Amino acid sequence: MNKNELAKEVASRMSTTVTETLLFINTMNEVICESIMRDESVLMQNFGQYVPWKQGERMGRNPRTNENCPIPERVSVKFKPGKGLLDKINGK
């Protein structure tokens, strides 16, 4: 499911327009991104948690040339599913 399909599904369930729903989804994405950039986790009870994860600098390899090259440190994001989400998708 892509973002437009998600927006159409949510809009139909909430009796709103797709445009309003896309605005909500985009705003939610911005808020989550800004929180991650401030090194804060975002917890949605019974759904899951977005956690910033700092990856240190490491050596990688270019698969075309077999050359070793440094990969700079960066911040990534891990998603930890919540118990409610896991129970729902596993039929509990």
pLDDT of the chain, 92 residues: tens digit per residue: 999 999 999 999 999 999 999 999 999 999 999 999 999 999 999 999 999 999 999 999 999 999 999 999 999 999 999 999 999 999 97
Please name the residues in contact with 27: beta carbons below 8 A apart, sequence gap of 6 or more: none
Between CA 44 and CA 91 the distance in angstroms is 20
- Say which DSSP state 13 is in: H
Domains of the chain, by residue range, sit at 3-89
Q: What is the pTM of this model?
A: 0.78
Token pair for residue 76?
């990534």
Between CA 1 and CA 87 the distance in angstroms is 21
CATH topology of domain 3-89: HU Protein; Chain A (4.10.520)
